[in-house]
Amino acid sequence: MSPAFWIILTASVAAAACALVGCFLVLRRMAMLGDAISHAVLPGIAIAFLLSNSRAPLPMLLGASALGLLTAMLTELLHRGGRLQQDASIGVTFTWLFAVGVILISLFAGQVDLDQECVLYGEIAYVPWDTWTTSGGRSLGPRALWILGFALVFNATWILLAWKELKICAFDPELAASLGIPVAAFHYLLMGATSITTVTAFESVGAILVVAMIVGPAATAYLLTDRLGHMLAIAVGLGVASATLGYGLARALDCSIAGAMAVVIGVLFALAFLFSPSHGLVPRAWHQRRLADDVRAGRAGPIVGQSPDAA
Amino acid sequence: MNASFDWGALLGDANVRSVLLGSMLLGAGAGVLGCFTFLRKRALLGDALAHATLPGVCLAFLVTGSKHPFVLLVGATITGWLGVAAVNVITKRSRIKDDAALALTLSVFFGFGIVLLTRIQKTGAAAQAGLDKFLFGQAASLVPADVLLLGGVTVVLLACVVLAFKEFKLLAFDPQFAATIGRPVGALDFLLNTLTVLSVTVGLQAVGVVLMAAMLVTPAAAARYWTDRLPVMLVLAGTIGALAGAIGAVVSMTAPRMPTGPWTVVAATALFAVSLVAAPRRGVVARTLRRWRTRRRVAEENVLKTLYHLGESDGVWDAPRKASDVSGRRRAKTAGVASVLPRLANAGWVERTGEAWRLTRAGLDRARRVVRLHRLWEVYLTERLHLAADHVHDDAEEIEHILTPELEAQLEAALARPRFDPHRQQIPYDAPVPASAAEPTVVP
């Protein structure tokens, strides 16, 4: 199979896995925490590299997940214990951890098979050549695809298993708490899943473009539907579409594949922002104008319903 | 780093001095402007804005083919501004909240920047090599002319903040009020955003796109721990930013292959950590200590008060009592009371006689004051707030440790020095009350 096929497939799986957690982050208004975690896993990855001396996925996943949870907890600690406002505690925590990660990588540049630029925009172009082969020498496809596939299955599983609880937590945490749902546990589940998704996607698309994959399709889907199930499905679809179109764009312009995917994600969002039938700027303005015309022409029906006393 | 480094020679070098000075100015500018984004609860806007400058830097280079800092500065300012505008438009005109708007803007603009950067790299122009340093910063690459330009912009920024200080202060703390008294809030917001964008763009070369956000947030957050006054906070944040910038510059010059930005950020975060822990009043140590002292004082006053209650019930004020008597009366743990009593003895409030303890003259006065405050407050709650007499005790248990002598005098005056509390227990005033006068009316 052609390299292009593997790249698009890998990016699509990454985008789908990101979109699933992204929907919940957007609904819980924690998108910036996703951004923070995607930066903060870097020292975890660097330390795992240094200790295990390899790109083996397990130590990397462990290191990154630990740092992801550490970020969530440090942010909470600065906010509660240090009385620092929420946005600033996120800002201080993740910039510091990311800085430490970059320093570690540049200090041990010789030992770590990672460079500063790969951290930012990933190495998806090399994915097809880094394959897993059985002892018999049979190729099983790109290693990154397997790892990202694991993240996708993991996310789909926990979302399906805890569907009802997640839904209540996403829209009404107070109600969830009063129903006895362990809201804090679900918060950390989401943080943990964000860390795992981020680190698996990190190698392919880099720290900052992971954020585009997490937030972009989810925010776009949020403008297109009012139902959680639909939102997840649309976000996954948009993620796959951005991966495919982004690859085409990158080939056409001969530029970074991950960067092009982020640009497509931005364009899709802009389209939904302007033209979404239910929430878009243009349809809403058009409706308003038609309504104004109707009112002026005396054609408007009862808008809010006349009160019974007036009748 | 090299231990035998020749600092004297280094500082004598004009180039070195200008890099150091430049980095400090850039750090100071971002620190000062960051205070306003911090206070307006927009600390993460700096992150989106800093990332959004990357496409501007690349576009400016693509269009003009020049790497002159002024050209790149203009490009960065334009797209940085567009990034801020995008966040504002998305949050105002759709149901997307600011967190998602920030994350989306940041990553899409940055992605676009990466597309342009990789385009430039592929075209193989030798001149492009310098653009990478905008990602993580390279302070040592600043030449004196750059420093002059960037430093000049920073000085103008700081001058603007000084000139429009009163307006910006109002905008940060109470924009509604500013609008009510006729200040041009929209224009001020525009100006402040522009200054913030500029402070980020001038810092790019030293700190880099990726971590510039920290230079807005971290010094401001650190400064906030030391003071409640805006001018002091601005000066402190500027100083912390300058210090972090200087450390980054030194690292950049001693280890030229190191990116400067991360070191600058780590230095700023270290200063933040010191502030978080050690700042007087708002720091974690000071607050923990204060809480611990209050808890200790409350425990002491509760034991003194109980000794008074015991005296009240049998009329013998200076009778020796055992720790178990006190704990039995208060339904507290005997061990807790036993640990408080020696402390009270050391301070002269009680004295020890064998296994038992009795109030000293001073201890009796202090205990009487606590009881007095408790009962005065109960009277106040029943008479003025018309609460039922059986609902006022718990509230009084807390306030008795808090009321100041001034409030006590006001309470006494407002209630006309009542003799009894709602439970018909006598309120003890400082003048000793003759036992005979109190006796007949007290209901046990």
Question: For residue B315, what is the DSSP state?
Answer: S
Residue B137: closest CA among B67, B207, B52: B207
* Residues of chain B contacting A247 with CB distance shorter than 8 Å: none
**What pLDDT shows up at residue A303?**
55
Inter-chain residue contact A92 with B214, CB threshold 8 Å = yes
What does the alpha-carbon distance between residue A199 and residue A211 come to, in Å, rounded to a whole number? Answer: 12
B129-161 pLDDT, tens digit per residue, is 677 778 888 877 788 888 888 888 999 999 999
**CB neighbours of residue A284 within 10 Å:** 15
Average of per-residue pLDDT values in chain B: 87
CA nearest to A225, candidates A208, A237, A214, A213: A237
**Mean pLDDT, residues A266-291:** 93
ipTM attached to this prediction: 0.90
Per residue in A205-245, pLDDT (tens digit) is 787 779 999 999 999 999 999 999 999 999 999 999 999 99
pLDDT single digits (tens) A63-121: 888 888 889 889 989 998 889 998 899 999 999 999 999 888 888 866 666 666 777 77
Taking residue A230's Cβ as centre, other Cβ atoms within 10 Å add up to 12
Q: How many CB atoms lie within 10 A of CB A271?
A: 13
Q: Do the chains contact at B217 and A91, CB–CB below 8 Å?
A: yes
Which of A104-113, B120-129, B362-371 has the largest mean confidence?
B362-371
Candidates B107, B134, B211, B275, partner chain A, best to mutate (most A CBs within 10 A): B107
* DSSP state letter for B356: E
Determine, for residues B103 and A265 on separate chains, whether the beta-carbon distance falls below 8 Å: no
What are the tokens at A193?
Answer: 């899943």
Check CB contact under 8 Å for A91 and B44.
yes
User: Given this model, what pLDDT does residue B444 score?
Assistant: 40
Judge whether residue B313 has pLDDT over 50: yes
Taking the CA of residue B219 and the nearest CA in chain A, the distance in Å comes to 9
Dump pLDDT digits (tens) for B179-216. Answer: 999 999 999 999 999 999 999 998 888 888 888 999 99
B114 phi/psi in degrees, rounded to 5: -65, -40
Band of residue B128 on the pLDDT scale cut at 50, 70, 90: low
Q: What is the CA radius of gyration of chain B?
A: 33
pLDDT band at residue B438 using 50, 70 and 90 as cut-offs: very low
Chains A and B: how many Cβ contacts under 8 Å? Answer: 206
- Given A103, A263, A269, which is nearest B104 (Cβ)? A269
B276 to A103: CB separation less than 8 angstroms, yes or no:
no
Nearest Cα to Cα of residue B117 among B60, B55, B193, B164? B55
pTM beyond cutoff 0.95: no
Residue with tokens 């050549």: A129
- pLDDT-based confidence at residue B80 (cuts at 50, 70, 90): very high
Alpha carbon distance A151, A231 (integer Å): 19
pLDDT (average), residues A16-39: 91
Residues counted in chain B: 444
SS3 B426: strand
Q: CA–CA separation, B211 vs A60, rounded Å? A: 23
What pairing do the DSSP bridges indicate for beta strands B356-359 and A139-142? Answer: unpaired
List the single residue in B99, B221, B269 with the smallest CB-CB distance to A31: B99
Question: What residue in B sits closest to A254 (Cα-Cα)?
Answer: B119
Q: Model confidence at B315, in pLDDT bands (50, 70, 90)?
A: confident
Residue range B397-406: mean pLDDT, rounded: 90
